[in-house]
C-alpha cells in the first residue's frame, strides 16, 4: 500500500488546478506547470487533490506515489518556489553572474560560462573570507535540481581536501591522506 500516494494534497490560496483526462495543470503566483499522467485517477474537491489507483499491480502502485509526489511538488513550486544553494570550496574558485549567464572559475585554464534557463533565477554571493555561493531559485523543482547537478558536475568535491562544488550543508566523506 502506497503511503505517499494516499496522502491528500492541500491546495493553498491563489493556486488553481485544472484536471484533464491525460494531464494536470497547476497555476499560481510564481508560474504555471503542466504534468501528463496515466493509469491513475486524479480528483479535486474542497481544496484537496486526491490520487487514486485502479488496482494493486506493481506498475499502478509505483505510479500512484510518483504522480502524487510530482503534483505536490508542482503545487508547492507555484505557491512558494524552490531554492538550491551551491558552495564553491577551493582557493581561487569564483562565481559571478550577468543576467542568465553564470561565470565559474573552478581551477581550469578557462572559465566555465553556463547559460541558465530563463525559469531559474540565479544569484551569486561573494564575501571576503568566505566561500562563494551560487543561489538558484525557481518554481520548477526538477529544473532547479537539474541545473544544480549540472553546475556540481563541473568539479565534484574530492574526498581529501574537500575542494569542489558542493551543496550548502552537504557532508563530504573525508579520507585520510598518506600515512607517514
**Distance between alpha carbon 74 and the CA centroid of its chain, in Å?**
11
Q: Nearest to residue 137, comparing CAs of 82, 73, 58, 97? A: 82
Per CATH, 3-79 and 82-167 having the same topology is answered: yes
| Interatomic CA distance for residues 6 and 29, integer angstroms | 27
**Domain spans, the chain:** 3-79, 82-167
Write the CA distances from 77 to 99, 163, 174, integer angstroms.
22, 32, 34
User: How does residue 180 score in pLDDT terms, banded at 50, 70 and 90?
Assistant: low
Task: Kindly report the backbone phi and psi dihedral angles of residue 149, in degrees, each rounded to the nearest multiple of 5, phi listed first.
Answer: -65, -35
What is residue 101's predicted lDDT score, i.e. its pLDDT?
95
User: How does residue 159 score in pLDDT terms, banded at 50, 70 and 90?
Assistant: very high
User: How does residue 5 score in pLDDT terms, banded at 50, 70 and 90?
Assistant: confident
Q: Which spans in the chain are helix H?
A: 3-6, 58-79, 141-153
Query: Options 3.40.50.2300, 3.40.718.10, 3.20.20.150, 3.90.930.12; which CATH number does 82-167 get?
Result: 3.90.930.12
Share of the chain above pLDDT 70, in %: 98
Residue 1 predicted with pLDDT over 60: no
Fold held by 3-79: Outer Surface Protein A; domain 3 (3.90.930)
pTM of the model: 0.90
Handedness of CA 73, 77, 79, 84 (dihedral sign): positive
Question: pLDDT by residue (tens digit) across 57-87?
Answer: 999 999 999 999 999 999 999 999 999 999 9
What is residue 2's predicted lDDT score, i.e. its pLDDT?
58
Q: What residues contact residue 46 under an 8 Å CB cut-off, 6+ apart?
A: none
What is residue 177's predicted lDDT score, i.e. its pLDDT?
86
| Interatomic CA distance for residues 121 and 135, integer angstroms | 8
Task: Kindly report the backbone phi and psi dihedral angles of residue 135, in degrees, each rounded to the nearest multiple of 5, phi listed first.
Answer: -105, 125
Residue 153 predicted with pLDDT over 70: yes
| Interatomic CA distance for residues 101 and 122, integer angstroms | 9
What is residue 3's predicted lDDT score, i.e. its pLDDT?
82
Amino acid at each position: 500500500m502506497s503511503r505517499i500516494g494516499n496522502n491528500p494534497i492541500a491546495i493553498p490560496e491563489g493556486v488553481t488546478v485544472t484536471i484533464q483526462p491525460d494531464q494536470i495543470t497547476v497555476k499560481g503566483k510564481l508560474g504555471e506547470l503542466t504534468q501528463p499522467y496515466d493509469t491513475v485517477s486524479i480528483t479535486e474537491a474542497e481544496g484537496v487533490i486526491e490520487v487514486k489507483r485502479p488496482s494493486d499491480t506493481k506498475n499502478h502502485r509505483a505510479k500512484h506515489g510518483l504522480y502524487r509526489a510530482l503534483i505536490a511538488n508542482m503545487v508547492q513550486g507555484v505557491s512558494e518556489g524552490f531554492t538550491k544553494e551551491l558552495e564553491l570550496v577551493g582557493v581561487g574558485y569564483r562565481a559571478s553572474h550577468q543576467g542568465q549567464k553564470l561565470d565559474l572559475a573552478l581551477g581550469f585554464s578557462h572559465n566555465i560560462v553556463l547559460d541558465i534557463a530563463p525559469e531559474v533565477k540565479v544569484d551569486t554571493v561573494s564575501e571576503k573570507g568566505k566561500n562563494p555561493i551560487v543561489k538558484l531559485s525557481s518554481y520548477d523543482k526538477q529544473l532547479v535540481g537539474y541545473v544544480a547537478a549540472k553546475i556540481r558536475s563541473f568539479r565534484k568535491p574530492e574526498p581529501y581536501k574537500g575542494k569542489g562544488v558542493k551543496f550548502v550543508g552537504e557532508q563530504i566523506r573525508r579520507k585520510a591522506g598518506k600515512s607517514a
